[in-house]
Chains A and B, each alone.
Chain A
Amino acid sequence: MDRILLKNGQMVCPAGGIDEIRDLLIEKGKIVKTGKNLKAESARTIDASGKLVLPGFIDMHVHLREPGFEHKETIESGARAAVKGGFTSVCCMPNTEPVIDNQGIVELVATRAREAGLASVYCIGAITRGRKGKELSDIGELKAAGVLALSDDGSEVLNSELLRRAMEYASTFGLFIISHCEDPWLAAGGSVNEGAVSTRLGLGGIPRVAETVMVSRDIALAAYLGAKIHIAHISCAESVDMVRAAKKAGVKVTCECAPHHMFLTEEAVLGYNTNTKVNPPLRTEADRQAVLSGLLDNTIDCVATDHAPHAEMEKDVEYDNAPFGVTGLETAVGLMFTELVDRKIITVSRLAEKMSLNPARILGLNRGTLKEGSVADITVIDPKAEWAVRVEDFVSLSKNSPFIDRKLKGKAVMTIVEGKIVYEEKD
């Protein structure tokens, strides 16, 4: 159906400063009109009363594992998880096999995404060939193929000179670097945050300085070059402070935080559940508070899940041998609404900023808004829906969530991508 009319939803659009009950008409993939008492013939009319109608959520940091690790996730299953979780666009990181460091792989991802016909899937290209940190990828080619940014996520570009050249060269093509801030020597042998919990459990620690020394270096480079940098999955109080100071000083730095760093601490590791093993690791309560404060005062621009699926057999091993990573696409919205909106810590409009408008702006995507004429990417939320995270309900191929059994309030009930309903909750 070409035309969809969403009736009587609470329409919230931070870009347009709108937060009121409005109808919204979609035609040919675009939002053509919003207002009161809209009528449209031969449109599918959906009663959205009691629901929130928001610009579609954008997750700028996911791992969809295809090509190479299709037993963990595929573009199709990842996109399905995305739209079920209320995300209309996702950016997949290049640590696939082969690595997304050339046009061919970007096209493969695009083809698979088109075949799936669910979420919009964009690529983040590798900074260096094979993510090996030795030589630059063909960045101009990657740009032409459609990548939105560059990252060696999972690894830091350790050679500072190479990173400098990458930042300069990328800016030539209007691209920016997403930095995975981790000093691998400081982090070596670690599984969890270094501190009281690692000491108590006898697990190798990843010290906060493994992150902060690299945040500091990357900000210094961005400042020196006047280039744009985005800090991925920020987890420490000191990192948040550094970004805050850098922004104040006019450095073009943006950053994201993940739900697990906002809603869990290292205490979750007690009991050795390998679904709490994630990089950067879950930190202390003080860090968790600092990340939240950073999100509230706009030091942290957006929320990104760092969705990192792993098969059960891979996670079901010794804690120190388990791979890092947790899934996030299907729990992020519920967590954000339960922990922040329902408790009145942020408004729905602020949430839409953090999960839609800001990531769109950072990525240079013409989305994240419900203004008339824009792409009809829409997430419909039932803020009152109460549910619990259950293993059997995940549509992602992997179930490695640290939030299993958590009771949540608020969920996506309909997801519309480019005017097409790609997810609709069954009653």
Chain B
Amino acid sequence: MEWTRGDLLGLEELDRAEIEMILDTAASFKEISSRPVKKVPTLRGRTIVLFFFEPSTRTRSSFELAAKRLSADSLNISTSTSALSKGETIKDTLRNIEAMQVDIIVIRHSSSGIPWALSRLVAPAIINAGDGCHEHPTQALLDMFTIKEKLGKIEGVNVTILGDIAHSRVARSNIWGLRKMGANVTVCGPRTLLPRDIEKMGVIVTDNLKDGLKNADVVNVLRIQRERQKAGLLPSLREYAQRFGISSEKLRQFARKDLLIMHPGPTNPGVEITPEVAESKTSVILEQVTNGVAVRMAVLYLVAQARDETKEEE
């Protein structure tokens, strides 16, 4: 098996062997981060631009460290401008960055589909760090990496994704990835946060927390944005916490003891998850963050390598 993709746009378009290859590569990179000298020369001389149109600390830092640990040069561009017709601006900015001879552009944007449009437009590799409510492939990869590390496998594992499925790119990428890897996926939340026809993505749908947790080996708790309340999708965050928030009490009642607790972060303590659960023994939230660096190193490495091979052939 050889990695041939010069971009990483989403998990929908990857097949199982490709996902396995990223996870295996990440496993071999993970060790680097535990060395006293956390650096290998793999991508020395490459330039990676981190282009974030939405505020992000975690994903951006994770990509930046991944780039640095591979000895690549990285440039951060963060802007939260979200005015209309900025499509023109993005294109223009991207073309300018391209003209500076960069190799990889990691992009986050609030509009679904942007990485696809840009990959058709510019030559450098595009890595999607989250587009609108669509995909967040590296997050799902690190989630799967963590599941595999903890449970030894992904095939046959019961994963419940809990919360705002409708607006979550983490949920969508996880559904694509986990389904391809043979996991059973349940999505759970109030009906206002479950998008129409979600079952067509091959998941079990429930609005009952008890049913959602009953058979779960893993629960991936999504962050609840305060805007959802303003949009009238939730009466109050308090009510959400009562009905769908994960607490020790609810876990005792509904879930198996060793249920793996995951969260893409940052958490809203006391809303979708209590601090007690977030910090409990079965919570792997911080390990997800650790694994994120390894997974992103793997993605940067594979994409860069595929680009080199294409160039050599030319």
Contact = CB atoms under 8 A, between A and B. Distances in A.
Interface string A304-343: 0000000001101111111000000000000000000000
B134 interface: yes
B113 A199 contact: no
Contacts of B134: 201-203
Contacts of B198: 199
B137 to A, nearest CB: 13
A202 B88 contact: no
Given A272-B117, A320-B132, A201 B87 contact: no
Contacts of B84: 317, 321
A196 interface: yes
Contacts of B113: 201, 203, 272, 318-319
Contact of A319 (B86, B112, B169): B112
Given A198-B195, A202-B135, A272-B117, A317 B200 contact: no
Q: Which 9 A-B pairs have the closest CB atoms?
A: A317-B87, A202-B134, A318-B111, A272-B113, A202-B133, A196-B197, A202-B112, A199-B195, A196-B200
Nearest to B136: A202
Given A272-B117, A320-B132, A205 B196 contact: yes
Interface residues of A, number: 22
A317 B86 contact: yes
B111 A320 contact: yes
A198 to B, nearest CB: 7
A195 B196 CA distance: 5
Interface residues of B, number: 27
B164 interface: no
A201 B172 CA distance: 9
B114 interface: yes
Contacts of A205: 195-196
A17 interface: no
B87 A202 contact: no
Interface string A190-207: 000011101111110101
Interface of A: 194-196, 198-203, 205, 207, 271-272, 313-314, 316-322
A211 to B, nearest CB: 15
A313 B114 CA distance: 16
Contact of B131 (A202, A271, A322): A202
Nearest to A197: B197
A189 to B, nearest CB: 8
Nearest to B166: A199
A207 B166 CA distance: 14
Nearest to B168: A202
A271 B12 CA distance: 12
Nearest to A271: B116
A313 B88 CA distance: 7
Nearest to A319: B113
B203 to A, nearest CB: 11
Contacts of B34: none
Contact of B87 (A196, A207, A318): A318
